[in-house]
Structure 1
Amino acid sequence: MRFMASYDLMETVRNTQQWMGASALSLASYPAFSLVPNPMLTMMAAWGEVTERSYKRMVAKPDWGIHSVSCEDGRDHLVSIAKVVERPFGDLIHFEVQGREEKARKVLLVAPMSGHYATLLRSTVVSLLPDCEVYITDWHNARDIPVSEGKFDVEDYTLYLVDFMKELGPEVNVIAVCQPAPLTLAATAYLAEIFPEAQPRTLTLIGGPIDPDATPTEVTDFGNRVSMGQLEQLMIQRVGAKYKGIGRQVYPGLLQLTSFISMNLDTHAQAFTDQIMRVARGESGDHDRHNRFYDEYLAVMDMTAEFYLSTVERIFKNSEIAKNCFTINGHEVDISKITDVAVKTVEGEKDDISAPGQCVAALDLCTGVPEKMKSNHLEPGAGHYGIFAGSSWRNNIRPLVLKFIDENADRPKTSGKTKLAAV
């Protein structure tokens, strides 16, 4: 599998499906056919429209689409996006709200690098903008990063987070969603020991696999069912000639998308069947519920092979975070060194990706944090997506997170001087 030919084959299949959809839509929409109405032509056009759009989205990075936000003064303020830190594998960006005073709450959202773009957290960003200065990690698609930029594994990812937190300073409140939760915890511990003045004020971990073995799910237990050799042989490919990252070994987003869809194949098949019927009846819209969801869901990005493989091996197989034996460039990170950061975990009762028990394990690891600075919330009836972007987040979890941030806003820090030279 580790050849450019296999990567290009997947892209060829995707491109062909997009072309077939576009061709079917164009042919069935030929003006002369309107003289003899035929329901089969209508269905053909509907199938073509849905198919073309779906396969086209798979290689497009979604736009943030956040143009304005309503503020306390009752006016809509324009939102612009500024890059605070630019790096080859990801940027730190800031959503600047024009014409309002800077908010006291400074929030860093750590977005997952698990196959989707950071725009997956668009609704999370929108919900926080009225009350916070929002920053987010914007990870890049590995297929667009030249091989000359080098590797990017879990240690590099963690050091990126360290640098981002140092850039934003000790008043920042970090919220890590899903996959990055273990590495964000490690980055905070690394700062606590190496550069304590730059530790965040609070750390909120949402639905992350801190201890995957606490309550295994089909997703988190996958790494235990295959060897690393099998995983590398089956999942890793080289970027084809079409992209800047030609030759880079990656875990392709299209392969990840196939895994996502196969988990709930019947549900997705029914959703697309229903959408084709809605298009045929003229009941669909460019921004209807189906298109809003699948425009984001189908937009996938490649991960570097070393990041994917090291995540499986070190986070899931070896449980290095759960066992508190994670190392960065040979330095063993000690999570117990975190003493001044208030830590909150959030879990969903019906989360089938990171089940309850996996994330709250972080609190037991933070032995240096006083109990009064620890908090956990289990959201009843919520699934994985709902705890950071659905109604459960908007109505219940978001207010609790903001309250947690405010409760620790004026708490004095006791960290001593830097123990080692900053890196």
Structure 2
Amino acid sequence: MVYDWYESQRAMLSPLAEFAEAASKFYTNPLWPLSQTPGAQRLSASYELMHRLLKSYEKPAFGITSLKVDGREIAIQEQVALDKPFCRLLRFKRFTDDPKMLERLKNAPTVLIVAPLSGHHATLLRDTVRTMLQDHKVFITDWVDARMVPTEQGGFSLDDYIAYVQEFIRHIGPDVHVMSVCQPTVPVLAAISLMASAGEATPRSMVMMGGPIDARKSPTAVNNLAMNKSYEWFETNVIYRVPVNYPGAGRRVYPGFLQHTGFVAMNPDRHFNSHYDFFLDLVRGDTDDAEAHRSFYDEYNAVLDLPAEYYLDTIRIVFQDFALVHGTWTVHGKPVRPQDIRNTALMTIEGELDDISGAGQTEAAHQLCTGVPEADSTHFTVPGAGHYGIFAGRRWRDITYPRVRDFIAAHREGAVQKAPRRRTA
């Protein structure tokens, strides 16, 4: 009923949002005399703020069509490498007419970025992708909004997520370097662990950023909610069925609008101040800051529904049973053994001020991956960075990325690795 109520409210407010958008433009139209009267700019700003608070936000495009590398323009084409019911594997193909640059692009290491399936779309990592494209061939997981997947496609659990990651790694090949951001650090570690235990060739390296490998360490508000409420509470209070006006009608999901409410509730003062500053920027005519606000909230307010099976599995396995760190996690009957990983280098990254994944949660991967040689393991805490600053913004581009680039470069030499022996102990 909550989902149906939300959709009804959204439909009712849609005409008001459109009216506010038209009114905002009306009061700034230079051809209309009223636009030159005192207070017109303030009225326009008020209506635009109303429009943005009431409108629906659709999934943004990556919009990466070109890139400058060493001062030269490189064309970028977004391609679908694999199309699965719940995820598309995207590749950002780089093109150039310069023979020397082309050779450099061909010889660049390949990176699979596993984006989080935790509310926002993969486009939240646009800055991550754009930066990585300077020196790498880049693939990314583009998770599908569960309300758009017909029930005929079946459910999608955490086990299925892991199977998708393994399929993507096998498709790209063992020379790939896997970067996981936030939520996927846990299933990515499980996927590579299972591949190592089965004797498969594993990726050359894995870079894990701001994820809950061991959510017991420095628990945040997000961790506390997941740990202090029962599994049954989550199933009863946050799981709803998709309404009839979507392809996935009847599917059980954790709705995106509930997640968005939770995101905002974590820092309400920050969001209120941001919207007020946006209003003032519009009144003053500060177009650059106003556009930065629009760009951020176009992304931040665009959310997707999570499959109920996957979400509830994550709550239980990662935040309540701590099955990975306790060594009790099994996927399709097979134990998850990070200690079996030997031929994949490990880098963990945390933000000094991260309020989503606390200090030590991601670094805990090193205690689990005891088979990775010490020379192939490294950890970095990004000074002054919050959760998003780990993978986006100035700190990511200027501080974190050079370390990631150098780490990947240091573990790309040599022939394709042989599959390790299966451990019997």
Question: Paired residue for 1:86?
Answer: 83
Name the counterpart of 1:324.
Answer: 327
Structure-1 residue corresponding to 2:116: 112
Task: Give the conservation status (yes or no) of the 8 Å contact 1:173–1:202.
Answer: yes
Match of 1:207 in 2: 210
Secondary structure, aligned partner of 2:117: coil
Aligned to 1:415: 419
| Partners of 1:25 and 1:47 within 8 A in 2 | no
**RMSD across aligned positions (CA):** 2.3
**Structure-1 residue corresponding to 2:351:** 348
The residue aligned with 1:63 is 61
Task: Give deviations 1:71-115, integer Å, cap 9, x for gaps.
Answer: 24x321211111111100001110001123424210010100010
Q: Which residue pairs with 2:307 in the alignment?
A: 304
Secondary structure at 1:92 match in 2 = strand
Moved more, 289-298 or 271-280: 271-280
Task: Tell me which residue corresponds to 1:244.
Answer: 247
The whole-number CA distance in structure 2 between the counterparts of 1:97 and 1:187 is 28
Residue number in structure 2 paired with 1:262: 265
Q: Cα offset for 1:33?
A: 8.3
SS of the equivalent of 1:176 reads: strand
Q: Which residue of 2 aligns with 1:145?
A: 149
Equivalent residue for 1:98? 95
Provide the C-alpha distance between the structure 2 equivalents of 1:103 and 1:290, rounded to a whole number of angstroms. 38
SS of 1:268's partner is helix
Q: After superposition, what is the alpha-carbon deviation per residue over 1:218-243, rounded to whole angstroms, capped at 9, x for unaligned?
A: 11121111111111111111111221
Query: In structure 1, the residue corresponding to 2:389 is in which secondary structure?
Result: helix
Distance 2:344 2:39 in 1: 62
Secondary structure of 1:244 counterpart: coil
Report the Cα offset of residue 416 of structure 1. Answer: 3.5
Gaps of 5+ in 1: none
Aligned pairs (5 A) from 1:283-294: 283-284=286-287, 288-294=291-297
| Post-superposition CA distance 1:344-386 (Å, at most 9, x none) | 1011111111111000000000011111111111122211111
State the match for 1:369 in structure 2. 372
**Alpha-carbon shift at residue 57 of structure 1 (Å):** 4.6
Q: Is the 8 A contact 2:82 2:88 kept in 1?
A: yes
Change (3 A) 1:364 1:215: same
Structure 1: how far apart are the matches of 2:192 and 2:174? 11
Match of 1:10 in 2: 6
Residue 22 of structure 1 is matched in structure 2 by: 18
1:124 corresponds to which residue? 128
Distance 1:288 1:316 in 2: 38
Matched, 1:51 2:47: no
Q: 1:274 to 1:161 in 2, by over 3 A?
A: same
How far apart are residue 411 of structure 1 and its match? Answer: 5.1
**Per the alignment, do residues 141 and 55 of structure 1 end up closer, same or farther by CA in structure 2, a change over 3 Å counting?**
farther
Are residues 215 and 125 of structure 1, via their aligned partners in 2, closer, same or farther at CA, if it must alter by over 3 Å? same
Alpha carbons 1:117, 1:301 under 8 Å: kept:
yes
Q: In the alignment, does 2:236 pair up with 1:233?
A: yes
Q: Cα distance 1:12–1:286, how it changes in 2: closer, same or farther (>3 A)?
A: farther
3-state secondary structure, aligned to 2:215: coil
User: Which residue of the other structure, out of 161, 184, 188, is the alignment partner of 1:180?
Assistant: 184
Distance 2:108 2:376 in 1: 20
Distance 1:387 1:202 in 2: 18
* Counterpart amino acid of residue 18 in structure 2: A
SS of structure 1 residue aligned to 2:226: helix
SS state of the match for residue 196, structure 1? coil
In 2, Cα distance between equivalents of 1:376 and 1:109: 18
Could you tell me which runs of 5 or more consecutive residues in structure 2 were left unpaired when the two chains were aligned: 97-101
1:36, distance to aligned residue in structure 2 (A): 9.2
The one-letter code sitting in structure 2 at the alignment partner of 1:149 is: Q
Residue 54 of structure 1 contacts residue 294 of structure 1 at CA under 8 Å; is this kept in 2?
A: no
Verify the 8 A CA contact 2:278 2:289 in the aligned structure 1. no
Instruction: Return the letter of the residue paired with 1:123.
Output: D
**Shift in Å, 1:283:** 3.0
Does the Cα contact within 8 Å between 2:281 and 2:290 map onto a contact in 1? no
- Paired position in structure 2 for 1:133: 137
Inter-partner Cα distance in structure 1 for 2:213 and 2:261: 25
Runs of 4+ with >4 A deviation: 30-42, 417-420
The 1:124/1:287 distance shift into structure 2, 3 A limit, reads: farther
Alignment partner, residue 99 of structure 2: none
| Alignment-mate amino acid for residue 52 of structure 1 | H
Q: Structure 1 pair 368/279, CA: closer, same or farther in 2 (3 Å)?
A: same
Q: Are the structure 2 counterparts of residues 44 and 232 from structure 1 closer, same or farther at C-alpha, using a change threshold of 3 Å?
A: farther
Range that drifts further, 277-286 or 166-175? 277-286
> Please, what TM-score do these two structures have when normalized by structure 1?
0.92
**Cα offsets for 1:175-227 (capped at 9, x unmatched):** 10001001100001011122522x10000100110000011111112111111
Distance 1:285 1:9, change over 3 A: farther
Q: Alpha-carbon deviation of 1:27? A: 4.7
Find the aligned partners of 1:51 and 1:145 in 2 and give their Cα distance. 32
Deviation string 1:145-186 (CA, Å, 9 cap, x unpaired) is 001111111110011000000111110001100010011000
C-alpha distance in structure 1 between counterparts of 2:287 and 2:14, whole Å? 20
Q: Select between 204-213 and 39-48 the one with higher mean Cα deviation.
A: 39-48
| Percent of residue pairs bearing the same amino acid type | 38
TM-score, normalising length from structure 2? 0.91
Q: 2: CA distance between counterparts of 1:319 and 1:263?
A: 24
